[in-house]
Structure 1
C-alpha cells in the first residue's frame, strides 16, 4: 500500500513538474491586448482574460463617441462568453493600442452575428482598417451559426496599432465581439522565402514586411488543434476536406517527444500536436508507389500567397531513408527533400518551408508531396504534417480589393457633405432672395413713386404747328 501511494505521489510530482516546465516554456508576448467588446465585465477564454471595453474600464482602448453595447437575446450554449456581447459602431470608430515591441504582430478579430431584439446584426456592413491596411470591405460579420475569427499578421514599426471600423453607409453599422493584438515571436515570419514562379524558383525578399491574412491552417492526418494546445492560441483544422485523393495515403501518429532545435521550427511556428501526426506514402515492397498526395485550397484571384508546409519525420525507422519531392501549384518547389539533412540528422525534429505563389485565375492553390528519384523501397516515400496558406497584401496595401485606405476613410465625410451641401445651397438662396427684397424696399423709400397723368388733352395738327413756330421764333 505504501509503495502504491509512493508511486502515485511520484506520478503527481512528475505531472506537476512537466506542467510547470511547459508553463515556463510557453510564449509570453510583450504586447498582449485581449478585448471583450461590448461587455461590462472581463471574460476568461482558454486561460486568457479578455478585458471589458466599457467606458468605466481604464483599459478599454476605445476611441469613439457613437457606440453602444449589445447583448445576445438568448445565451449561446457551448460558446465562450466573448460571443455573448458585441460593440456596435454607428460612425467611424477605432481602438488604439500602444506598441512596446515593434515587429510582426498578430491581430485577431472575433465576429458572431447573434440574435438580439434590439438590433438585427444581419444589417451590418462595414470596412475594417488596421494601421492603414485594408483588412475588410463591405463585411457583414459572417453567419449566424458559428463565430468567425479572422487573423492578420503585419509588421508594426509605429508606436500604436489602430483598428478602425467604418460603416459602409449611413444606414449601416459595424460591430465586433472581441479583439486580440499580440506581438509575435521574431522567428514566426522570416525575411526570405522561395518564389515559385512557374517552373522557376526565385528568392522572395522582404517577406516579414508584408501583411497577411490567414486563410487556412491545417493539421495533416490528425485531429483538430484548439487554441488551448497552441502556444500562440491558434486553431488547426483537420485536412480531410482538402485532400484531393486519399488513395495511397496512410495516417501516422507519434507518441514520443518532438525535438525542437535552435534555428529550426519552434513551438510557436508549429505546436507538438501538429508535428506528432502526418499523412505519408509508404512502400510496402521493393517497388515505389507512383502516386502523389495532393491538397486543394480555394483562394481569391489576383493575390500572392505564402504557403508554409510543415514536415517532421515521425515514421522512418532510421536516418537517411526518406527522400521526396514537394510541389506547389503543380510546379516542383523542392526536389529530393532530405529531412535528415535539414534537421541536423535527427528524427522527429520539425522543419518547415515557405513558398510564395501567385493565385492566378484558377482560384485554387494545390500542394503535393510524392516520391523522388532517390526514394527507396520498403521505406517512407513522402510525408506532410501541416499546411498554412496566407494571403499577402496587394500593391495598394489591401487584403480586400483595390481601394486604398485613404479613399475608404473619405467615403464617410463625402456622404455627410452630400446631405449638407443641398441644405447650405438652399440657405444661401433664401438669404439672396431676402437681400434682393430688402434692397428693392430701400430704393422705393429713397425715390417716391407718383402716378402718371391720364388726362392729357388732345391737340389738333394746326395747334401743334402753331406751338412749334412759337418755340422756333
Structure 2
C-alpha cells in the first residue's frame, strides 16, 4: 500500500513537472505591445488585451500634432472590438515603441474602413513608414468588406521602433485601428537560405538581417488557423484559392502528436494545426502516379521573395518510403527529398525549406511537388503542409513602389503649406496696418491744426478753412 502511494505521488510529481516545464518553455516575447488605437478603453481579442492608446505609457508613445478618436456606429456583431474605433491623423504622426530585445520583430497593422456622420474612412489616403522602411504608399485602408491586416518582420537593432503615418493626396487624413509590435523567436528567420538564380541554387547569407512583408500564409489541405491557435498569433488561410493542379491528390488529417525536434521546425515556426493536415499524391496501385500538385500565388514584380515550404510526413506508414521532388517557379529546387533523412528518421516531425526567388514574368510564385525517380508504388509519393511567401524590400527601402522614405517625408511640408501661409498672411496684414498707421501720424505731424485765422489776412476766410478739415481727418 505504501509503495502504491509512493508511485502515485511520484507519477503526480512527474506530471506536474512536465506540465510546468511545458508552460515555462513556451514562447513569451520580451517586447509585446498591443495597441487599441483611438479607443478610450482596453479590448480583449482571442484572450489578448489591446491597450488603449489614450493611456499614458512609459514604453509606447503616440506623437501627433493633430489626431482624434473615431468611433464607428453599428458594425457586424462578429467583428472584434478593435475594429470599432480608429485613431485618425490630420498631420504626420508616429507611434514610438521601446525595444528591449534586439532582433527580429513582428509588426502588424490593423485597418478597417467604416463610415460615421463626421468622417468616412473610405476617403482616406496615406503613406505608412515602419522603422525607416516604406510599408504602404497611397493606401486607403483596404476594402470595405472587412478588416485588413498587414504584417512585417523587421530586424531591429536600435532602442526604438517607429511607425509613421503621413496623410497624402486630397484626403488630408490617415488612420489605423490597432497595432501589434512583438519580438519574434530567434529561430523564426535563420541566417541563410537557398537563392534561386536561373537554374542554379546559391547560398543567400544574412537572411535574418533583412526585412519582410508577409504576402501569403497558407495551410495546405486544412482549415483556417486563427491567432487563437497559433503561438505567434498568426492567421493561416486554406490553400483552395491558390491550388492550380490537384489531379490525383488527396487530403490527409492527422490526430496524433506532432514531434518537434531541435534543429527542425519549432511550434513557433509552424503550429500543430498546420502540420497535422496536408495534401499528398499517393500511389494506390503498382504504378506511380503521373501527377503534380501545384499552387500559384499572386505577387508584385520587381521584388525578391522568401518562399518557405512546410513539410511533415503524417501519412507514411513507415520510415524511408517517401521520396519526391520540389519545384519553385518551374525550377527543380530539391530532388528526391527524403523527409525521414531530414528528421533523423522520425515520422510526424516537421521541417521547412527556405528559398529566395524572384517573381516570374506573370507576377506569380509557383510552388509544386511531384513524385521522383525514387518514389515507390503503394505508398505516399509527395506531400506539402504549408506555404509562406514574404516580400523583401527593394533597394529603395520600400515594400510598395520605388519612392524612397525621404520623398515620402518631403511630401508632407507641401501639405502643411496652408498652416504656414495663414500666419504669414496675418503677419503681412499686420505690417500693412502698422505702415498705414505710421503714415497717418507723419501726415498729421506735417499739417497745421485748425484754428481761427487772423482777421488781418483779407484773402483767407474761416469758411474755406472749415471746408478743408474733412480732408485731413
Smaller-chain TM-score bracket:
0.7 to 0.9
Which residue number in structure 1 is paired with residue 157 of structure 2? 157
- Cα 1:304–1:261 change in 2 (3 A) is same
Which residue number in structure 2 is paired with residue 104 of structure 1? 104
- Residue 244 of structure 1 aligns to a residue whose secondary structure is strand
Which residue number in structure 2 is paired with residue 223 of structure 1? 223
CA separation in 2, counterparts of 1:387 and 1:19?
31
Contact 2:37 2:87 in 1 (8 A): yes
CA separation in 2, counterparts of 1:172 and 1:101?
36
CA separation in 2, counterparts of 1:185 and 1:71?
35
- Residue 86 of structure 2 aligns to a residue whose secondary structure is strand
Q: Unaligned regions of 5+ residues in structure 2, if any?
A: 1-12, 447-473
CA separation in 2, counterparts of 1:427 and 1:69?
33
CA separation in 1, counterparts of 2:125 and 2:22?
43
Moved more, 71-80 or 174-183: 71-80
CA separation in 2, counterparts of 1:15 and 1:89?
53
For residues 265-304 of structure 1, give each alpha carbon's deviation from its aligned partner in whole angstroms, at most 9, with x where no partner exists: 0000000110010000001112111111000001111100
Which residue number in structure 2 is paired with residue 6 of structure 1? none
Which residue number in structure 1 is paired with residue 10 of structure 2? none
CA separation in 1, counterparts of 2:51 and 2:426?
49
Shift of 1:93: 0.5
- Residue 340 of structure 1 aligns to a residue whose secondary structure is helix
Contact 1:94 1:165 in 2 (8 A): yes
- Cα 1:39–1:20 change in 2 (3 A) is farther
- Cα 1:427–1:40 change in 2 (3 A) is closer
- Cα 1:379–1:279 change in 2 (3 A) is same
Q: What is the 5 A alignment of 1:111-126?
A: 111-126=111-126
- Cα 1:212–1:432 change in 2 (3 A) is same
Q: What is the 5 A alignment of 1:160-309?
A: 160-169=160-169, 171-309=171-309
Which residue number in structure 2 is paired with residue 67 of structure 1? 67
Which residue number in structure 1 is paired with residue 332 of structure 2? 332
Q: What is the 5 A alignment of 1:75-94?
A: 75-94=75-94
- Residue 353 in structure 1 maps to residue 362 in structure 2: no
- Residue 61 of structure 1 aligns to a residue whose secondary structure is strand
Contact 1:62 1:96 in 2 (8 A): yes
Shift of 1:419: 7.4
Contact 2:247 2:292 in 1 (8 A): no
- Residue 245 of structure 2 aligns to a residue whose secondary structure is coil
- Cα 1:194–1:58 change in 2 (3 A) is closer
Shift of 1:222: 0.6
CA separation in 1, counterparts of 2:18 and 2:113?
40
Contact 1:74 1:115 in 2 (8 A): no
Shift of 1:171: 4.0
Contact 1:54 1:60 in 2 (8 A): no
For residues 287-335 of structure 1, give each alpha carbon's deviation from its aligned partner in whole angstroms, at most 9, with x where no partner exists: 1111110000011111000000000001111111111000000111111
Which residue number in structure 1 is paired with residue 380 of structure 2? 380
Q: Unaligned regions of 5+ residues in structure 1, if any?
A: 1-12, 447-473
CA separation in 1, counterparts of 2:363 and 2:225?
27
- Cα 1:330–1:69 change in 2 (3 A) is same
- Give the TM-score normalised by structure 1: 0.85
- Give the TM-score normalised by structure 2: 0.85
Contact 2:37 2:178 in 1 (8 A): yes
Contact 1:32 1:183 in 2 (8 A): yes
Shift of 1:46: 1.2
Contact 1:93 1:164 in 2 (8 A): yes
Shift of 1:59: 6.1
Shift of 1:75: 3.9
Which residue number in structure 1 is paired with residue 401 of structure 2? 401
Contact 2:138 2:169 in 1 (8 A): no
> After TM superposition, which residue ranges in structure 1, 4 or more long, deviate above 6 angstroms?
13-21, 425-436
Which residue number in structure 2 is paired with residue 321 of structure 1? 321
Report the structure number with the largest CA radius of gyration.
1
Shift of 1:233: 0.3
Contact 1:51 1:59 in 2 (8 A): no
| Number of equivalences | 435
Q: What is the 5 A alignment of 1:18-29?
A: 23-29=23-29
